[in-house]
A and B are shown apart, each in its own frame.
Chain A
Amino acid sequence: MTRLFDASVLVAAFSRESGTAQALAMIGAEAMPTVNALGITETRVSLIRKRKRGAMTAAEVQRALAEIDRALADGLLTVVAQPDAMWNEAVALADRVAVHLRTQDALHAACAKLAGHGLASFDSDLTAAARAEGIDVIP
C-alpha cells in the first residue's frame, strides 16, 4: 500500500529527534515513500522553526532543506496530487471525527483518504482521526 508521510515523520527523518530511528524504519519499509505539497511545506517550515528556536544550526537546516530538494528532484520522494475535492473533504472529515482537528490535520487525512493511501504520522490526534475514517495508519 502507498502511504502518505506527514511532516511529523519527515522532520524526524530529515533532522535528529527521538523518533528518527522509527521514522527511518517506516520510510525504509516503503517502496516509494509518498508526500504531498502540504507536508513538504510544513516540513520545510518546521525545520526553519527549529533553527529559530536554537534546536538546529543555520548550516544544519540548510543541509536538511537541500536534501529534501534533492530527494524530490531525484524522485526518491513521490509527490501525490492534492485534488480540489480535498478542501471540502477536509471540512466534512473534521466534522465527522470526534478528534479536534486543525485545518492542516484535516487536509492531510482528506488527501490520504481521497487518494486511497495509508498514512504515516507520529501525531496521535491525526492518526486517531485517520483510523476513524478507515485509513490504514502507522506507526
Chain B
Amino acid sequence: MTTLELTQHPELAALVAAVRQGEAVEILENGKPVVRCVLQTSALLDRLAALHASFTSPVYPGNSVVDQRQESR
C-alpha cells in the first residue's frame, strides 16, 4: 500500500477536506471514472444498510449485549 502525507500534498488535502464534509470525489481518466473517494464511514454505513435489508428476523427489543451483561452481573 502507498501512503501519502496530506501536509505534503496540498491539492490532495483539499480533496480530502471535501470528502470529510461528506462529498464523494470521483477521479476521471479520459472521461471515465477510475477512482471514487468517499468517507470510510460512508462505505461502512452503506454496507450495514445492505446487511440490514437482508434480515427478516424481528428487531431485537432492547440491546442484547447489555441484557447479556446484566445477566452476568
Contacts and interface: CB of A to CB of B under 8 A. Distances in A.
Interface stretch (B5-13, B27-35, B41-49): B41-49
Contacts, number: 109
Contact of A67 (B20, B48, B56): B48
Chain B interface helix/strand/loop/mixed: helix
Contact of B52 (A20, A50, A104): A20
Given A46-B65, A50-B64, A122-B63, A27 B41 contact: yes
B66 interface: yes
Interface string A1-44: 00000111001111111111000100111111100000000110
Interface of A: 6-8, 11-20, 24, 27-33, 42-43, 46, 49-50, 55-57, 60, 63-64, 67, 70-71, 74-77, 100, 102, 104-105, 122-125
Interface of B: 20, 39-45, 47-48, 51-52, 54-57, 59-66, 68-69, 72-73
